[in-house]
Amino acid sequence: MTERDRRGGLEDNPFTLREGKDDRIHISWRGRRVATLKGAQAASFLRRIDGLDEPQRQLAMAKITGNFKRGNEKDR
């Protein structure tokens, strides 16, 4: 079974990924930075999402940010 977004909260692609200085990866949700990965963790994440389509990338970013899988995030 392939993992998927059961509630449809990722259909509008709320997460964005940006590579910063010093091999850092910044993940934002609706324009607000919610996670920064660096070093080995950033490299591992980039390898994991390489070749994935956009819905799968969105799910991977939601999982790495942690609290977003509970559905208690607020859109302000």
pLDDT in tens, 5-30: 677 777 888 999 999 888 899 999 99
* Residues 50, 53: Cα–Cα separation, whole Å: 9
Neighbours of 31 (CB within 10 A): 7
Which of the two residues, 50 and 9, has the higher pLDDT score? 50
Question: What does DSSP assign to residue 23?
Answer: G
pLDDT the model gives residue 22: 86
Strands 15-19 and 32-38, how do they pair? Answer: unpaired
